Amino acid sequence: MAAQTEEERTRTNTFQLQPKENWKRVCLIELLDPAAALVNIVTYHRRQAYFDDEQTRNDVWNAITKTEIRDRFQPTLGRAITDKLLDKCDETWDGFFTQLDDYHDGDREDRPSPPGYCKDGGQRVLKTVVRNDAYTVEWGEHSRIELALGSELKEKYGIPFNQRLRVPIRGNPQYEGHGGRLELVYDRSTESFTAHQPVTFRHDTTRAAASGDEDVVAAVDVGANNFVAVTTTNGHQAVFDARPLFDRFHRITERIAELQSQLPDGEHSSRLIEKLYDRRRRQRDHAQDALIRYLARLFEEWGVGEVYVGKLDDVREEHWSAVVNEKTDLFWAHGRFRRRMHEVLDGECGINVEEESEASTSSRCPQCGEEESVGRNGDVFQCGGCGFEGHSDVVGSENFLSEVVDGNVEFNTGRPMARPADSGQNGPEWRHREVPRLEWDDHEWRRRGHSTKEEPANRSTRKGNLASGVSR
Residues that bind Zn ion (CB under 5 A): 365, 367-368, 370, 383, 385-386, 388
Residue whose CB is less far from Zn ion, 197 or 237: 237
In whole angstroms, the minimum distance from the beta carbon of 355 to Zn ion comes to 28
Decide whether 36 or 383 has the Cβ nearer to Zn ion: 383
Smallest gap, in angstroms, from Cβ of residue 228 to Zn ion?
24
CA-closest candidate to residue 149, choices 319, 5, 1, 28: 28
- For residues 440 and 242, the answer to whether their CB atoms sit within 8 Å is yes
Least distance (Å) between residue 365 CB and Zn ion? 3
Instruction: Report the greatest alpha carbon distance in the chain.
Output: 86
Report the C-alpha gap between 307 and 296 in whole angstroms: 10
Closest separation between CB of residue 382 and Zn ion, Å? 9
Nearer Cβ to Zn ion, position 174 or 382? 382
| Cβ atoms of 167 and 148 closer than 8 Å | no
Query: How far is the C-alpha of 413 from the C-alpha of 434, rounded, in Å?
Result: 18
CB of 356 or CB of 370, closer to Zn ion: 370
Q: Which is nearer to Zn ion, 19 or 428 (CB)?
A: 428
| Angle (nearest 5°) at CA 298 between 306 and 224 | 80
Of 21 and 371, the one with the shorter C-beta distance to Zn ion is 371
Nearer to Zn ion, 34 or 416 (CB): 416
Among residues 459, 472, 332, 449, the alpha carbon closest in space to that of 395 is found at 472
Give 171 or 396: the residue with its C-beta nearer to Zn ion.
396
Number of C-alpha atoms within 13 angstroms, CB side, residue 233? 25
Cβ distance to Zn ion smaller for residue 226 or 367: 367
Of 252 and 368, which CB lies nearer to Zn ion in the complex structure? 368
> Considering the complex, what minimum distance in angstroms separates the CB of residue 298 from Zn ion?
28
Residue 441 CB, shortest distance to Zn ion, in Å, is 35
Q: Which is nearer to Zn ion, 369 or 464 (CB)?
A: 369
- Least gap, CB of 415 to Zn ion (angstroms): 12
The least distance separating Zn ion from the CB of residue 383, rounded to whole angstroms, comes to 3
Q: Could you tell me which residues are beta bridge partners of residue 201?
A: 9
Contacts of 259 (CB under 8 A, 6+ apart): 270, 272, 273, 276
CB of 431 to Zn ion, least distance (A): 11
| Bridge partners, residue 355, by sequence | 309
DSSP 26-83: HHHHHHHHHHHHHHHHHHHHHHHHHH-TT--HHHHHTSS-HHHHHHHHHHHHHHHHHH
Residue 81 to residue 197: CA distance in whole angstroms: 15
Q: What backbone phi and psi angles, to 5 degrees, belong to 361?
A: -90, -10
CB of 388 to Zn ion, least distance (A): 4
Helix, coil or strand: residue 470: coil
Q: Which residues pair with 179 in a beta bridge?
A: 199
Smallest separation, CB 363 to Zn ion (Å)? 12
SS3 category, 395: helix
Cα three-residue angle 340-345-350, rounded to 5 degrees: 145
**Contact call for residues 468 and 392 (beta carbons, < 8 A):** no
